[in-house]
Amino acid sequence: MAQPSRPVWRLKVGEEAPDFELIATGEQAGKGGPRNKIRLSDYRGKKNVMLAFYPAAFTPV
Amino acid sequence: MPSYEEDLSEFERRNAQVLGISVDQAFSNEAWAKSMGGLSYPLLSDNWPYGYVCVQYGVLRGEGRAERAIFVVDQQGIIRYIDVHDIAEQPPTDKIMEALDKLR
C-alpha cells in the first residue's frame, strides 16, 4: 500500500474563510426558536465572526 | 462552548457574532443548549454532508468529531486568527478578544 501523499488540509491566517450554509438552532440556541439556515457570507460587511468548533453536544467542557 | 455566553457583551462590543459548529444534528444542539438554560448565539449543524465544513477548515478528527478550534473571520471574510486547541481545553478567550480588537 502506498502512503497517502495528500497533505492534511490547513487554513492559514490571511486566507479567505470557506463559505458555508448550515442548519442552525435559530439566532439563539435552546430557546425554542425556529431553525434557520446561516451562511457565513451573510455577515460580510456587517459583522466579524468567531467560529467556535466543538467536539460534541453534551460533552463536558 | 457555554463559557462564551458569559462573554457575550464583550463580543457584542467588538461587533462579533459567535457561531458554534459541530457535527451534531440541530435537535441535539437545541436540547443541549436548553439543558444549559439557552445560549444567545446559534449552534450550527455540520451534519449534511457529514463534517463537510469541518473538513474544509481542517478540523475533522479521525473519530469523526470536530476539533476544539476557533477561527476569527473579519468583515471581508478573511481569517484573522486561528486556534486549534487540545480537545479537553477551552481556547483562551483573552486571545480571541485581542484578535478582535485588532479588527476595529
Instruction: Give the torsion sign (CA, B16, B27, B87, A17).
Output: negative
Instruction: Please state the pTM of the whole predicted model.
Output: 0.91
Name every chain B residue with its beta carbon within 8 A of the beta carbon of A50: 11, 16-19, 70-73, 96, 100
| Residue at A13 is within a domain | no
Residue A37 counted as domain residue: yes
- Residue B2 binned pLDDT confidence (cut-offs 50, 70, 90): low
pLDDT of residue B43: 96
Residue A50 is part of which domain span? 20-56
Rounded CA Rg of chain A: 16
Residue A6 above 90 pLDDT? no
Q: Select the residue from B10, B43, B46, B50 to test the A interface by mutation, using most A Cβ atoms within 10 A.
A: B43
Collect all residues with Cβ–Cβ distance below 8 Å to A40 and sequence separation of at least 6. Answer: A17, A18, A19, A20, A21, A49, A51, B19, B73, B77
- Mean pLDDT over A42-56 rounds to 96
Q: Looking at the domain assignment, is residue A34 inside a domain?
A: yes
Grid cell listed for A56 = 460534541
All structural domains of chain B? 3-101 (3.40.30.10)
Backbone angles phi, psi at B32, to 5 degrees: -65, -45
Asked if residue A8 is part of any domain, the answer here is: no
Q: pLDDT, tens digit, for every residue of A7-39?
A: 456 899 999 999 999 999 999 999 998 999 999
Of residues B56, B68, B75, nearest to A55 (C-beta): B68
Is A11 inside any structural domain?
A: no
The grid cell for B75 is 468583515
- What 3-state class would DSSP assign to A31? coil
Q: Which residues are registered as beta bridge partners of B66?
A: B60
Cis-peptide, bond into residue A34, ω within 30° of zero: no
Judged by CB atoms closer than 8 Å, whether chains meet at B38 and A30 is answered as yes
User: Total structural domains in chain A?
Assistant: 1
Three-state DSSP at B15 gives: coil
Please report whether residue A42 resides in a domain: yes
What phi, psi does B75 have (nearest 5°)? -70, -15
Other Cβ atoms closer than 10 A to A27: 14
Residue with cell 458554534: B20
The SS3 assignment for B18 reads strand
Of A21-25, A43-47, B61-65, the least confident: B61-65
The answer as to whether A28 is a domain residue is yes
- Answer whether residue A3 is part of any domain: no
Chain B closest CA to A6's CA: distance in Å?
13
Residues of chain A contacting residue B26, judged by C-beta atoms under 8 Å apart? 23-25, 35
